[in-house]
Amino acid sequence: MTLRAGVVCLVVAAGTLLHAAAQQPAINSQLRHARGQGVVPVYEGWFEDAAGTVHASYGYVNLNLDEALDIPIGPDNAIAPGPADRGQPTHFLAGHQKGVFTVPLPEGTASEEISWTLSVRGHSMSIPSNLGPLYQIEGLVTNGGPFPGNTPPVLQLRRDGASGQGPVGLTLDTAIAADAGRDTPLDLWISDDGLPGDQGPLVIRSLQSGQRTRQGRRMSVTWSKYRGPGAVRFADATPAIEGGAAHTTARFSEPGAYVLRVLAQDGSGLNGCCWTNGYVHANVE
């Protein structure tokens, strides 16, 4: 930790500086809290897509073991410069969430730094992007390591619809209609290149809880609430993939505009590659 001109600088995300007000208490990774804590934005790096557009990738750490938080778009949840709303979540699941969204940087301004600021319970944290070479991630293909050539799963949210691949992922082109209190079908179709294949389990350590879990190296999908005024209950948030498809239902507690996120991954982890995001807007009556 470095003190400078009344600002505390916390080192996270491989050296990125996280700025917080001086009265912000230091994060002690040995302390565990079920509720009452805040959310730390995490910059994960940048990558360039096939069209040459640079994307900054972000995740977050909700410091609560059990409590999810809602932070609406505005002064408490903004990306700057530019519009405050750049597609970031407003619903924050407990724990460490990786690869949650990306921000495309306009052509000709890709060298400009952007920052994501989150304020909750009287504390504000802001993390800048950094487009230096040390922060470049693979995003769309693994160039080395044990699975060279590995690519993210290909995701479709309609059987014959558009497909998406990688952290930018796919957003369903039209919002689905739903009724509060009733089950709404959620269907997707997914394929992969077969990597990493039948390998040993991946050991993952949570930054928030300190716990280690063993994750099978297999393709999986996980649904979660991303935005919306009420609770969302999934019949199965991690439905089985059978015949290249996965099906579940969502039940919304109250009317309003929602966004659901589905995370598709191939079991290689979310360390630069290879996962795909899907986003579904829902209008709930």
Same domain? For 125 and 64 the reply is yes
Structure-token pair, residue 28: 């002690």
Same domain? For 126 and 10 the reply is yes
- pLDDT band for position 199 (cuts 50, 70, 90): low
Q: Is residue 141 a part of any domain in this protein?
A: no
**CB-based contact 63:38 (threshold 8 Å):** yes
Residues in Cβ contact with 234 at an 8 Å cutoff, skipping those fewer than 6 apart: 186, 223, 248, 249, 250, 251
Same domain? For 60 and 109 the reply is yes
- pLDDT band for position 144 (cuts 50, 70, 90): confident
pLDDT at 28 over 70: no
**CB-based contact 152:275 (threshold 8 Å):** yes
Residue of 195, 190, 184, 213 whose CA lies nearest to 151:
195
Q: Is residue 7 a part of any domain in this protein?
A: yes
Domain containing 278 equals: 154-284
Say what percent of the chain tops pLDDT 70.
Answer: 80
Element (H, E) at 107: none
Structure-token pair, residue 131: 């487009």
Residue pLDDT, tens place only, 116-140: 999 999 999 999 999 999 999 999 9
One-letter identity of residue 233 = R
pLDDT at 48 over 80: yes
Please say which residue of 135, 167, 186 terminates a domain: 135
pLDDT at 31 over 70: no
Q: Is residue 28 a part of any domain in this protein?
A: yes
> Which domain CATH number covers 158?
2.60.40.10
Structure-token pair, residue 204: 């993952």
Structure-token pair, residue 281: 């807007």
One-letter identity of residue 217 = R
Helix/strand/coil for 135: helix
Distance CA 159, CA 245 (A): 9
Same domain? For 269 and 180 the reply is yes
Q: Which pLDDT does position 214 carry in this prediction? A: 46
Residue of 95, 56, 71, 130 whose CA lies nearest to 210:
95
Element (H, E) at 34: none
Q: Is residue 179 a part of any domain in this protein?
A: yes
Helix/strand/coil for 245: strand
One-letter identity of residue 5 = A
**CB-based contact 216:265 (threshold 8 Å):** no
Q: Are strands 77-80 and 91-92 parallel, antiparallel or unpaired?
A: unpaired
Same domain? For 275 and 229 the reply is yes
Structure-token pair, residue 185: 């079908």
Q: DSSP assignment of 189-203, as one string?
A: EEE----S-S-PPEE
Same domain? For 25 and 67 the reply is yes
Q: Output the CA–CA distances (angstroms, integers) from residue 152 to 86, 216, 220, in the order listed.
A: 23, 16, 12
Whole-model pTM?
0.83
pLDDT at 109 over 80: no
Q: Is residue 143 a part of any domain in this protein?
A: no
Q: Is residue 39 a part of any domain in this protein?
A: yes
Q: Is residue 55 a part of any domain in this protein?
A: yes
| R_g of the chain computed on alpha carbons | 19
Structure-token pair, residue 268: 């290689």
Q: Which pLDDT does position 212 carry in this prediction? A: 52
**CB-based contact 277:168 (threshold 8 Å):** yes
What's the total number of domains in the chain?
2
Q: Is residue 148 a part of any domain in this protein?
A: no
- Kindly report which listed range (108-112, 147-151, 168-172, 183-187) carries the lowest average pLDDT score: 108-112
Q: Which pLDDT does position 211 carry in this prediction? A: 55
Same domain? For 111 and 186 the reply is no
Distance CA 106, CA 64 (A): 35
pLDDT at 76 over 90: yes
Query: Which residues share a beta bridge with 268?
Result: none
Q: What is the mean pLDDT of residues 263-273?
A: 90
Residue pLDDT, tens place only, 59-74: 999 999 999 999 999 9
